[in-house]
Structure 1
């Protein structure tokens, strides 16, 4: 799957309501003082199979190529959802052979404590270059591009 058309919405879960069927739910997020609704279906990948709860900080990625209803508050169909700890950031992007993101905003320095894995939780034993990566980090340098030693890297392997 190509992730270059994915956008992120991040926020704190305000409420969770059952969707049109019992296999989906609408998660209302407070994002930058605005409310955003995210539809989580049975097809949505939830990293680490975390049970979503009100008060939890999450990042939801949706495909900008898919149609979205013209409603307020905005509503997006989540393709990927991950929970975030306090102060933690996440980016989903292609990283080149120097581990620089395609948008040029971040360069990775993989350290001995960086947990590198596949989406299904298995250890990834190769170097995660020239791949789509879901990167979790807390601090960056003020350089251009910003550099970080991530806590966790999920390699989005193509199957």
Structure 2
């Protein structure tokens, strides 16, 4: 089970991140710097497999949330540098949660419970339908309003299964 954490802020810089020029990877990796408004800064390494919610293009000045594995090894540098698993551009119409959801579809941090409706899209990262039960998996959940209960409950618009 992945220990997903997030960092929210404004994109201050995007630049190419050199991995290995000789292996044909030049230009395939990016470094996105994000500042939270309180002076905290994080650099996200964006790989070809990093999932961008709704395939949105991110530019400097955008508000984003970067999700990463808090248990993955990271270099001891400042600002901290994390491998981005998911990047979500801020939206007034939808929220994004990346977490492991148990057999009752409650997130690992116990803050969100999913109530799947017939119209909820359940997809793989590549956009193809996921036909099994999404319980007990790492999920990207795109949702709107929630209840004020603990955990909050929602009927998601879309679920992306991270196989």
Question: Normalised by the shorter chain, which TM-score bucket?
Answer: 0.7 to 0.9
The normalised TM-score by structure 2 is: 0.78
Deviations 1:62-101 (A, max 9, x none): 2223332333332222233333422532222222232222
Deviation at 1:48, TM superposition (A): 4.8
- 5+ residue gaps, structure 1, are none
Deviation at 1:107, TM superposition (A): 0.7
CA RMSD of aligned residues (A): 2.4
Give me the whole-angstrom Cα distance separating, in 2, the residues matched to 1:10 and 1:25: 18
Q: Is the 8 A contact 2:12 2:33 kept in 1?
A: yes
2:27 aligns with 22
Say which of 60, 68, 85 aligns to 1:62: 68
Q: Is the 8 A contact 2:124 2:160 kept in 1?
A: yes
Say which of 105, 112, 117 aligns to 1:106: 112
Give me the whole-angstrom Cα distance separating, in 2, the residues matched to 1:29 and 1:40: 12
1:120 aligns with 126
Q: Is the 8 A contact 1:128 1:155 kept in 2?
A: yes
Is 1:31 paired with 2:36? yes
5 Å-filtered alignment, 1:1-159, equals 2=1, 4-20=2-18, 21-33=26-38, 34-86=40-92, 88-157=94-163
Give me the whole-angstrom Cα distance separating, in 2, the residues matched to 1:118 and 1:84: 22
Give me the whole-angstrom Cα distance separating, in 1, the residues matched to 2:68 and 2:92: 22
